[in-house]
Amino acid sequence: MTKHSLTRFSAVAACGLFFSAAPAMAAPSGAIFTTLADGTRVNANLYNSKCDALGVYLDGGPGDNAPQGAAGLPDGDYYYQVTDPSGKTLLSTDEQSFRRFTVTGGIITSRVAPKAAGDHETGLDADHGATTIELCPFLDTPNPGGEYKVWVTPVGNFSGNPNIVDNGYSGGYFHGFIPGFSKTDNFKVRARKSACLTIVKFEDDGDGKFEPGERLLNWPVTVIDPSGATIGGLLFTGTNETKDPILQVCALTPGTYRVIEEATNGSGDFDVTANILDNKSIVPPKREIVVNIQNGDRVVIFGNTPVKKVGP
C-alpha cells in the first residue's frame, strides 16, 4: 500500500506531450505480487519496511506452493512503477528506463542495471528460480492507511518517454501506464516508528532477578541490526557515574535485532544465569538475546555470576 508522493513532473509530461507507444497488445496474462527478497509472502501484503533487507520486492509468475510457470507473465520485457492506491501520484523516483525487467519461461529472470548503487536490489525466489526486484527507491504514500500500488506493463504498451521520471497523469494514462494493459498489486507498509533498545547487566545473586546493588559496569555488548550490520561497533554498559549499568540504543526501525554480550568485562569470566526481555524470563539463558522490534521500546537484561574456579 502507499507512503509519500512525488511532486515533480517533467516539462514534457506537464505539457501533456506523450510519446507514441507501440501498437497495443492485449492485457498480459499471469500475475504479479509483492514479496520479501526470498520470494516469501508476508502478512497479506503488509510490510514493516519499504526498503532494505525487509523491504518490498516484486515477483511475477508462480505464487506460494505453485509449480514453476503457474500464473506466469508472458515472456518479454516489462516496466514497473509504484504509485498511491489511486494511481494518480507517482512515487517511484528514478527514470522509467531504470525500472525495467525481463521475463523468461514465465518468471522474472533479470532487470536493467539501476541508476544508482543500492537501488532496486535483486533477490532470489529459490522455490521457482525467479529473480525478485526491490521496488525502492520510492517515496512515502500520501494515503493515510499506508497503502501503495505497484504496476507492471509490457514495454510495448508503455505510452511515454522512458528517459524521464514521470509521464504525468491524464486521460487514462497513469504516468505512461494504461490500466487495460497493466497488472497491479496493492500493498501496505506499517508506519516506521523508531524505538529504543535498553540493555542492562547485573551480577545475579542466584535468584535470577535484577535488584539494587547488583550492577555490572563497563560491560561490552554487540547489537546486530536486521540487515546483519553491527550498530556502533563494540558498545559498553554504564559506568560508576550512572544510576544503573544500562546501555541504550535508539532510532531503531522495525525488525529483528540480536544482542550479544561478551563473556567478561575484564574483571573475570562470568556465566550467564538470566535473560529477561521486557520483564519476562527466557529459558535457558544464553549470551545472545533475539529481540523483535515493531513499534515500541524493548528492554533486555542479562544476569551473570562469576565463573567458579576449580582447584588452588
The model's pLDDT over 61-91, given as tens digits with 9 standing for 90+, comes to 666 666 665 667 899 999 999 999 999 999 9
The mean predicted confidence, pLDDT, of the chain is 83
- Pick from 76, 127, 78: which is nearest to 100 by CA? 78
Compute the distance between CA of residue 67 and CA of residue 111 in angstroms, rounded to an integer: 23
pLDDT value for 310: 65
Contact 147, 4 (CB under 8 A): no
- In Å, how far from its chain's centre is CA 298? 20
Is domain 195-306 annotated with CATH 2.70.70.10? no
Q: Is the pLDDT assigned to residue 46 strictly greater than 80?
A: yes
pLDDT band of residue 14 (cuts 50, 70, 90) is: very low
Q: Where in the chain is the domain with CATH 2.60.40.10?
A: 195-306
* The three three-digit cell numbers of residue 243, written as one number: 544510576
Q: Residue 71 is which amino acid?
A: A
Contact 38, 173 (CB under 8 A): no
pLDDT digits (tens, 9 = 90+) for 233-292: 999 987 766 656 678 898 888 889 999 999 888 888 899 999 999 989 999 999 999 999
pLDDT band of residue 5 (cuts 50, 70, 90) is: very low
Percent of the residues in the chain that have a pLDDT greater than 90, as a whole number = 47
pLDDT value for 248: 87
Contact 149, 82 (CB under 8 A): yes
pLDDT digits (tens, 9 = 90+) for 127-180: 888 899 999 999 989 998 899 999 999 999 999 999 999 999 988 899 999 999
pLDDT value for 8: 28
Q: Is the pLDDT assigned to residue 12 strictly greater than 50?
A: no
Compute the distance between CA of residue 297 and CA of residue 195 in angstroms, rounded to an integer: 5
